[in-house]
């Protein structure tokens, strides 16, 4: 069959033509075409990447702002809290100090009173002693005038020197 017997002439021309076609197309057609396609795809991919990055950055920025706001709020709360605590502490301290002073003053007063009391009692004792001595002296001076009279006199003295 001639149909399945390759003709040498056609093989020869095919090798030359296809070879030339291949090298010309490879250099002047496929290389620029594939290069441009790659470049375009790369540009698209890069643009998408950049868009994504920008979006992520925006999101990061927003969340950062929110963080800052929250932080500021927290700080404010902390400051307020601290201030309140300090005020409370001061108040309590002052109250305690005042109480202490009052107590100290009361103590001093009690002590003064005690001293005064003692002094008064000592004075009373001294007075009673002197009175007794006085009475005893008077009694002794009037000793001789009878028993009834004597007794009456003592009573009279006792009434006179009523201690109250």
Partner 1 sequence: MITAIKTNLKYCFTVIFFAVFAVFTASANPQEETPTAKFDAGKLIIEHISDSHEWHVMGEGESVVALPLPVILYTDKGLEFFSSGNFKHGKATCAGNYNYKLNEKNQVEVVGANNEVDAAATAKIWDFSITKDVASLFFSAALLLIIFLSVAGSYKKNAGHAPKGIQSFFEPIIIFIRDDIAKQSIGPKYERFMPYLLTIFFFIWFGNLLGMIPLLPGGANLTGNIAITGTLAVFTFIITTINANKNYWHHVFAMPGVPKPILIILTPIEIMGVFLRPFVLTIRLFANITAGHIIALSFFCLIFIFGEMHKGVGLGVGVFAVAFNVFMGLLELLVGLIQAYVFTLLSAIYFGAALEEPHNHKESII
* Residues forming the site for partner 1 (CB under 8 A): 2-15, 17-18, 20-22, 24-26, 28-34, 36-37, 39-40, 43
Rounded to a whole number of angstroms, the minimum distance from the CB of residue 6 to partner 1 is 4
Residue that has been written with the tokens 């040498």 in this structure: 8
How far apart CA 11 and CA 14 sit, in angstroms, is 5
Q: What is the CA radius of gyration of the chain?
A: 63
Rounded to a whole number of angstroms, the minimum distance from the CB of residue 77 to partner 1 is 55
Rounded to a whole number of angstroms, the minimum distance from the CB of residue 15 to partner 1 is 6
Cβ proximity to partner 1: between 9 and 148 the closer is 9
Cβ proximity to partner 1: between 25 and 120 the closer is 25
Rounded to a whole number of angstroms, the minimum distance from the CB of residue 48 to partner 1 is 16
CA angle 76, 79, 81 (to 5 degrees): 110
Rounded to a whole number of angstroms, the minimum distance from the CB of residue 50 to partner 1 is 16
Cβ proximity to partner 1: between 31 and 73 the closer is 31
**HSE (side-chain half, CA atoms, 13 Å) at 122:** 6
User: What DSSP line would sit under 125-153, residue for residue?
Assistant: HHHHHHHHHHHHHHHHHTTTS-HHHHHHH
Cβ proximity to partner 1: between 18 and 110 the closer is 18
Cβ proximity to partner 1: between 20 and 72 the closer is 20
Record the tokens describing residue 23, joined without a space. 């090298």
b/e per residue 57-91 (b: at least 16 CB within 10 A): eeeeeeeeeeeeeeeeeeeeeeeeeeeeeeeeeee
């Amino acid at each position: 069959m001639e149909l399945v017997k390759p003709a040498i002439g056609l093989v020869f021309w095919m090798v030359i033509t296809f070879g030339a076609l291949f090298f010309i197309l490879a250099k002047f057609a496929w290389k620029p075409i594939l290069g441009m396609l790659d470049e375009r795809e790369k540009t698209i991919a890069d643009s998408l990447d950049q868009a994504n990055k920008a979006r992520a950055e925006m999101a990061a920025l927003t969340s950062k702002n929110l963080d800052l706001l929250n932080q500021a709020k927290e700080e404010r709360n902390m400051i307020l809290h601290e201030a309140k605590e300090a005020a409370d502490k001061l108040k309590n301290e002052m109250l305690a100090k005042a109480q202490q002073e009052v107590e100290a003053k009361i103590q001093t007063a009690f002590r003064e009173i005690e001293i005064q009391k003692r002094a008064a009692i000592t004075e009373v004792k001294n007075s009673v002693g002197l009175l007794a001595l006085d009475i005893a002296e008077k009694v002794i001076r009037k000793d001789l005038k009878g028993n009834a009279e004597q007794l009456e006199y003592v009573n009279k003295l006792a009434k006179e020197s009523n201690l109250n």
